[in-house]
Chains A and B, each alone.
Chain A
Amino acid sequence: MAGWDFTVDTATTINALGIYDDGGDGLIASRHGLALSHTIKIYDITGPLITSAFIDAVTGDPLVDRTRWVQISDVVLQPGVTYTIMADDMCVQNNNGGEGCDTDHISYASGINLIEGYGYFNGEPLDLSARSSGNRFTVPNGFLGPNFANLDEFSAVPVPAAIWLFGPGLLGLIGMARRKKA
């Protein structure tokens, strides 16, 4: 299990949770991992579970920025709150040859602030108790395993609004064409 604590600068809507999928192999991990599914959770560190998702291995879920994503209902993360995102069966520091996290060359979206990463070797439940009792890692660049996003792929297309604008435009074009003919 692994995760990282963070804050946001402004109210931030997210619609996806994801897992770092090194190699983009659908988490089958030909080089670095096992055929593992994962549960991903975001908590307010004072207690409330904000959102969660389950991602199966080799499901063909969208792969964006080396992360395998699943859709969630829209959630708005608020400034002034410290959150933590965590996933099971994910990247602890050992040499088992399993699925990995990335610890280098990580950059964070504007307004997303990493506080600290953490991980455990085995047996911990995927909840706040594990976060507060286990190993904390102060990797300089972060600790990327579980991830969150607002993805266009999962956004509802505003078709009705487009139609309201497109309709009059089309009528205008037809009108102009008729005038030209006359």
Chain B
Amino acid sequence: MKKSHLLGILCAFVILPSTASASTVAATTTDDIGDTNWNSANS
């Protein structure tokens, strides 16, 4: 294996951990609540 290959693998180990994670949100919506009647109360 060439040194350049080894270097490439090494770089991948450095770069990948910093890009692999991603936020996970339980519930998402594309909706604007707009004119619906679901509102707050002082509970």
Give residues in A with beta carbon < 8 Å to B.
Answer: 1, 4, 6, 14, 20, 22-23, 32-34, 36, 64-67, 88-109, 112, 114, 120-124, 142, 144, 147-153, 155, 157-158, 161-162, 165-166, 168-169, 172-173, 176
Contact = CB atoms under 8 A, between A and B. Distances in A.
Interface in B1-43: 3, 6-7, 10-11, 13-14, 17-18, 21-33, 36-43
B10 to A, nearest CB: 4
A36 B25 contact: no
Given A152-B21, A153-B23, A161-B17, A121 B41 contact: yes
A166 to B, nearest CB: 5
Nearest to A108: B27
Interface of B: 3, 6-7, 10-11, 13-14, 17-18, 21-33, 36-43
17 contacts: A1-B43, A32-B33, A89-B41, A94-B39, A102-B29, A102-B36, A106-B29, A108-B28, A109-B28, A112-B26, A114-B27, A142-B27, A147-B26, A165-B10, A168-B10, A169-B7, A172-B6
B38 A103 contact: yes
B31 A92 contact: no
A105 B34 CA distance: 13
B30 to A, nearest CB: 5
A65 B25 contact: yes
A150 B24 CA distance: 5
Given A1-B43, A165-B10, A169-B7, A64 B23 contact: yes
A122 B42 contact: yes
Given A106-B29, A158-B17, 5 more contacts: A20-B29, A94-B39, A106-B27, A157-B18, A176-B3
